[in-house]
């Protein structure tokens, strides 16, 4: 593979098919110690991102669980 003048690369069809990288799939390029990693961007995101900040800063997990269980 080569990088074009516009900075584009073409991922071979056999690899796109194997890894489900069809058109309009978002990818991310992640620097590693040995080079660059190209991977599909996950639409789901990390599960912690969905609940981050749910608790008040003055609250803790034990108090929260007792409160939601009605104790």
pLDDT at 37: 92
pLDDT at 36: 93
Per-residue confidence at 58, pLDDT binned at 50, 70, 90? low
Among 14-18, 44-48, 67-71, whose mean pLDDT is lowest?
44-48
CA dist., res. 22 & res. 16, Å (int) = 6
pLDDT at 70: 82
Which residues contact residue 10 at a Cβ distance below 8 angstroms, ignoring those fewer than 6 apart? 1
Measured CA distances, 3 to 8, 27, 35, 46 (Å): 5, 17, 15, 31
CA dist., res. 55 & res. 64, Å (int) = 8
- 4-45 pLDDT tens trace: 999 999 999 999 899 888 888 888 899 999 999 998 887 666
CA dist., res. 13 & res. 6, Å (int) = 21
């Amino acid at each position: 593979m080569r990088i074009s003048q516009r900075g584009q690369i073409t991922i071979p069809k056999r690899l796109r098919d194997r890894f489900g990288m069809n058109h309009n799939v978002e990818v991310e390029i992640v620097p590693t110690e040995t080079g660059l990693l190209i991977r599909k961007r996950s639409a789901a995101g990390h599960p912690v991102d969905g609940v981050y900040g749910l608790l008040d800063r003055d609250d803790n997990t034990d108090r929260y669980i007792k409160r939601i269980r009605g104790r």
